[in-house]
Amino acid sequence: MSGWTGQVAFVTGGVTGIGLGVAQALSDAGLRLALSYRNEDHRAQTAEWFAAKGREVPLFVKLDVTDRAAFADAAAQVETHFGAVHVLVNNAGVSVFGPSDEASYDDYDWIMGVNFGGVVNGLVSFLPRIKAASGLRHVVNVASMAAFLPGPQAGIYTASKFAVRGLTESLRYNLAPHGIGCSLCCPALTRTNAWDSALKRPDAFAESGFAPADRAELEQFGGAFEAGMDPYEVGQKVFRGMARNDGLILTHPEFQDDFREIYEKSVAALPQEDAPPERLHIERLRREAMKAAEAGQIIRLDDLT
């Protein structure tokens, strides 16, 4: 038995892929689950998995994460069903690629609306309830290694994941004084069906600047996902990171060269000159404030000057 036993978690996109892997790992740890879904067959398959394991079948909530009213209703439904909610895992997303110089407003609105807007909607809907709950509580925002590594076909997708990264790293400081943990999870290649997102484009965002989705090309791209990590392994790493209250959860080990290059390029880009004492003082205050915030102190603007 762990301190997480009996706590309630809501996982978006929780019936397939990484979301399902996270749900399974949380169930292993004794958490009770509410899972959002879009596809009825996937919901039924997930219910069968939990029943076959002799586990409590999750509360399933049909949800489009871009629908703010529906998200608010989902939060109320989860709280009514369980009495409280302690963990939010913002996982739902779309993997859509194309050159940014050809993108339309619909491309930006759809991808950013799901991948970043869905996280925002989850936070606004669930954080008041998580703050009101007791015991261990946590927020996990699932981004991607694209939050660190851009690419020529992934501009909008990368922008959405960079945005989730920045929001989550800042939110961690805001939640610490409330005794709520916060983690950014950046998985890499995982054995999921995320490659087919472009085939599910909503009619409301039909005016794309990208070339029309080609199923054969996408299936070839999807073949790479078969080499990916098992979603359950990702889920286990997410829970372990959450239990340790890690600010950053990286699930794949194969990026040491990339991170070293990012670090070296960043340091090399800094001007080789002395900064004036006044600026050094402000940055010292910023660093001290960040440490104090992570330790649980509420930081106000006047703490930064």
pLDDT, tens digit, 9 for 90 and up, residues 88-123? 999 999 999 999 999 999 999 999 999 999 999 999
The pLDDT tens digits for 268-277 are 999 999 999 9
Q: What's the chain's average pLDDT?
A: 95
Q: Answer yes or no: is pLDDT of 193 > 80.
A: no
Tell me the mean pLDDT in the region 187-209.
Answer: 88
Alpha-carbon distance of 260 to 262, in angstroms, equals 5
Q: Provide, rounded to the nearest whole percent, the portion of the chain with pLDDT above 90.
A: 89
Segment 125-136, tens digit of pLDDT? 999 999 999 999
Nearest alpha-carbon partner for 95 in 109, 67, 114, 121: 114
pLDDT at residue number 227 = 87
Average pLDDT over residues 226-251: 97
Please state, as a whole number, how many other Cβ atoms lie within 10 Å of the Cβ of residue 50. Answer: 17
For residue 15, how many C-alpha atoms fall within 13 Å in the half-sphere facing its CB? 22
* Integer CA distances (angstroms), 88 to 78, 204, 242, 252, in order: 11, 28, 11, 22
* pLDDT tier, 222 (very low <50, low <70, confident <90, very high otherwise): low
pLDDT over 70 for what percent of the chain?
98
How would you list the strands of the sheet with 59-62, edge to edge? 59-62, 32-37, 8-11, 87-90, 138-142, 181-186, 248-250
Q: Is residue 68 over pLDDT 90?
A: yes
What six digits make up the tokens of 19? 């979301």
Q: What is the dihedral of CA 275, 277, 279, 280, to 10 degrees?
A: 80
Model pLDDT, residue 218: 67
Better pLDDT: 75 or 305? 75
* pLDDT digits 0-9 by tens, 282-304: 999 999 999 999 999 999 999 99
| Cβ partners under 8 Å of residue 261, min gap 6 | none
Please report which confidence band the pLDDT of residue 212 belongs to, taking 50, 70 and 90 as the band edges: confident
Contact 188, 237 (CB under 8 A): no
Residues constituting the chain: 305
Half-sphere exposure of 23 (CA within 13 A, CB side): 30
Judged against a pLDDT cut of 60, whether residue 1 lies above it is answered with: no
* CA 37 – CA 13 distance, rounded (Å): 5
Tell which CATH classification among 3.40.50.1820, 3.40.1190.20, 3.40.50.720, 3.30.465.10 matches the domain 8-268. 3.40.50.720
Task: Please report which confidence band the pLDDT of residue 219 belongs to, taking 50, 70 and 90 as the band edges.
Answer: low
pLDDT at 144 over 60: yes
CA-angle at 249, arms to 21 and 116, nearest 5°: 80
Cα–Cα distance for residue pair 233/251, rounded to 1 Å: 8
Looking at the chain, which runs of residues are DSSP E strands? Answer: 8-11, 32-37, 59-62, 87-90, 138-142, 181-186, 248-250
- Whether the per-residue pLDDT at 224 is higher than 70: the answer is yes
For the whole model, what pTM was predicted? 0.95
Which whole number is the average pLDDT over 180-203? 90
For 35, residues 6+ apart whose C-beta sits below 8 A from its C-beta are 10, 11, 14, 15, 19, 23, 46, 58, 59, 60, 61
Known catalytic residues?
A: 157
The lowest-confidence range among 19-28, 177-186, 209-218 is 209-218
